[in-house]
Amino acid sequence: MSDLTNLTVSELQAGFRCGDFTPADAVRAIEQQIAANDGRIGAYLARDFDAALAAAESADVSLPLGGVPIGIKDVINVLGEQCTCGSKILAGYRAPYDATVIAKLRAAGAIPFGRLNMDEFAMGSSTENSAYQITRNPWDTGRIPGGSSGGSAAAVAAREAFATLGSDTGGSIRQPAALCGVVGLKPSYGRVSRYGLVAFASSLDQIGPFARSTRDCAAILGAITGKDHRDSTSLDLPPEDFSARLGRDLTGIRLGIPKEYFVDGMDARVREKVEAAIRQCAELGAELVEVSLPHTEFAVGVYYIIATAEASANLARFDGVRYGHRAKAPSDLLDHYRRTRAEGFGSEVKRRIILGTYVLSSGYYDAYYLRAQKVRTLIRQDFAAAFEKVDALVCPTSPDLAFKIGERVNDPLRMYLADIFTIAANLAGICGISVPCGLVEEQGKPLPVGLQFLGKPLDETRLLGIADAYEQSRAQEMPPGQPAQSEAL
């Protein structure tokens, strides 16, 4: 039964419908895999196999995702389950409702299953900022899986989930997908409702899937999209078949290569794999065009002003009054606030709250926040100009391989630069996907490299078709998310 965990979502569903196995078999296979491996990986914060099996027994396999267990990042509310956001300040909190994406997964027949570890409040690039545990990369358990959705990526790579949901504020789906050798999709801003997603930076956050194939991501995206009156930023769009361009080559596709994304300081082996992947795209029929995104150099600075400002406002609600951690025996209300937040938030969250509060403060708002918003507009215009010439962009997802646990904990700036190739997409609101493009030997162990495709706003169907064409051309060379030589498996 453990062999079931090697199946993609589409293969799993085909087996359900043929009667080869059942959704309950799939849940039990995942349970066995987690029992055997998660002590070393640390992807899950919680799981309820009894509830998952009960849902599996009554699953309708004729539905689009019928019977498929899907892991959930611990920042998305699921009725009755904990939602700690990886933080002590929400210890003991259980969600009183389903997020819209969870309701949509259930309607499509999926089984939301398990709470996956993350950087606290999605603030981080390594999943080392969780208040509960460190998640490890299945390819080398001495290394990070990326972040903030590290648990979601590691679970798919370690065969502890068929697919998962994560959130992406500045690369938190695509970067861990790259470092764990799986596929991760960030939809365009507004494509997926954020209702029930605990907010980090409201103008940047977006929910998206992790899976072992682009086709699985397309299926999950189809299930979770749609207008939601509870999220004013969700877009009212007609239903779309995100699988419409799957199975094609790249003939007629113009791929832009942003020169600013091939910079000094990038790991030479990563660059080599990405450049080989770009040549492969040309062999599949794509026309390659060099483009420029001239304001890229300002993206990290702009992001860490806007995101922290929004975090400062969003996290003000966590005060210990209504739910979550509460300081013992405070002397007065102000003492309660101070001690509750000091005890409940970790150092990275405190750092970002302080920075965000500073840039919003009197006398600094115009100098920092307002100026950052103006530069954000320039970054968005850079992408718009590029997309007038090309159908999509292709570039590295991460400048580095997965780094060692603890290596960058005391160097925040170096940690922030891990997202240098992903942040701008969130600022511009466009869609992006990371797919595996090869392995690099590092200290005797293979580590994955990710290739990133960036698409026009709301052009996910074309983006998925492009990623699928590349993925299918390499399917025999590197099955997505297969850490076969990992010490963890």
Q: Tell which residue, 41, 22, 31, 43, has the closest CA to residue 2.
A: 31
CA pair distance 181, 483, nearest whole angstrom: 8
CA distances from 256 to 94, 319, 383, 399, 449 (A): 45, 47, 11, 18, 20
Residues in the chain: 489
Question: Pick from 438, 442, 337, 338: which is nearest to 396 by CA?
Answer: 438
Does the annotation count 148 as an active-site position?
A: yes
Q: Which amino acid is at 308?
A: T
Q: Around Cβ 55, how many Cβ atoms within 10 Å?
A: 21
AA letter at 94: R
Cα-based torsion angle of the residue sequence 269, 271, 274, 278 in order, rounded to the nearest 10 degrees? -130
Q: Which of 203, 177, 179 lies closest to 190, judged by CA?
A: 203
Catalytic hit among 87, 126, 148, 486? 148
CA quadruple 110, 112, 117, 122: dihedral, nearest 10: 80
Instruction: Please say if 312 is a catalytic residue.
Output: no
Helices (H), 361-422: 371-387, 412-416
Half-sphere exposure of 24 (CA within 13 A, CB side): 7
CB neighbour class for 53 (10 Å; exposed up to 12, middle 13-18, buried from 19): middle
350 a catalytic residue: no
- Number of neighbouring beta carbons within 10 Å of residue 240: 15
Enumerate the β-bridge partners of residue 289.
256
* Catalytic residue (choose from 87, 130, 172, 312): 172
Residues tagged active-site: 73, 148, 172
